[in-house]
Amino acid sequence: MEWVRGDRVGHGSFGTVNLAVPRSQNPEFPPLMAVKSCSVSHSASLMNEKLILDELRSCSPEIIQCFGDDFSLENGEKLYNILLEFASGGALADKLKSSCDRRFLESDVRWYTKSILKGLLSIHQSGYVHCDIKLQNILLFNQDDGVKIADFGLAKKDHDNVSSNSPRGPFDFPDGVSAKSSVTCSTNSLPSAECLPEYDAWFQIQDEFCWSSSSSSSISPATRLRQLSDERRFTDTGQKKTVLVLAPMLLALRPL
C-alpha cells in the first residue's frame, strides 16, 4: 500500500509518529492512519512490535491494529515504518492531565479499566507480556471503541529470556518485588525484576490510582493486589469501590 506522510503527532525513544493517508482509497484501510517510523539501524524494537501485533491481530478490539509495514528513503535516511490505527483522542495520560483536578470520574475509570483488562487478558492468553503498561500507552478512540493498548516494542513471550542489561517498563517498581519466572526485566531500582502478567496489572493500578510503592522486602504484585481490600490509602469512596472490584479481576488473569 502506498501512503503519504502527514503532520507529526508524537515522538519517543523509538522514533516518530506521523499521520498517514493512503494514496488511493482501499476498503481494507482507514482513510487516516498513524505511522511509527525510525531509522533502520535502530528498528529492532519497532520490528518486534510489528511481529507481535501480527500475532495478536483480531484477538481483541482492545489492542491497536497494525495495517502493515514498509521501508522508505527520506532525506537521505532509510526508515522502517509500521502503519497503525490512528487514535483521535490521544493517550490516556494526556486526557488525565487535561481533566478537572487531574482526576477521572469513577465511571470513566470503570470503562477504561474494563477495556484494558480485556486487552491484557487477550495478550496474556496469547502467551505475551506487554511489560510497559502505563497511561501513555493506552490510546483513546471513540466512545464505542473505548481505549486500546498500544506500544508493544518491549513486549515479550511469557517465558522468553530477556537480557538483564536491557531496562524494561516503568522505573518505579516496588522495592523487592519477586516472582517465579525465567523472564528478567532490569530496572534502576530492581536489577532482576521479573515480567509476568501480574506486572502488567501492577503498572496499570499504579498509573490509575497513584499509590506509593510498598516498603516490604518480600511483597509480590499478586500479594499486593490481594491486600487491596484492606488498602487505606484510597480516601475517595468511589476509588475504594473500584479497587474492590478490580483486584479479583486482575488476579483472575493469572491465578497463583
User: Which residue numbers belong to the known binding site?
Assistant: 36
Is there a common fold for 3-85 and 92-253?
A: no
DSSP state of 214: P
DSSP per position, 39-85? EGGG-HHHHHHHHHHHHTTTS-TTB--EEEEEEEEETTEEEEEEEEE
Active site (annotated) includes residue 158: no
What pLDDT does 53 receive? 96
What ranges in 8-149 are assigned the alpha helix state H? 44-55, 92-98, 106-125
- Ramachandran class of 60: left when φ > 0, alpha when ψ lies in -120 to 50, beta otherwise: beta
What pLDDT does 202 receive? 55
- pLDDT for 62-85, tens place per residue? 999 999 999 999 999 999 999 999
- One of 132, 151, 200, 207 is an active-site residue; which one? 132
Q: What are phi and psi of 136, to 5 degrees?
A: -65, -20
When computed from its CA atoms, the radius of gyration of the chain, rounded to whole angstroms, is 19
- pLDDT for 216-228, tens place per residue? 445 565 565 556 5
The domain made up of 92-253 is a member of CATH 1.10.3720.10: no
- Quote the CA–CA distance of 197 and 251 in Å, as a whole number: 10
- Quote the CA–CA distance of 196 and 202 in Å, as a whole number: 10
- pLDDT for 1-53, tens place per residue? 899 999 999 887 778 999 999 999 888 899 999 999 999 999 999 999 999 99
What pLDDT does 99 receive? 83
Given this structure, which CATH class describes domain 3-85? Answer: alpha beta
Can you give the residue ranges of every domain in the chain?
3-85, 92-253
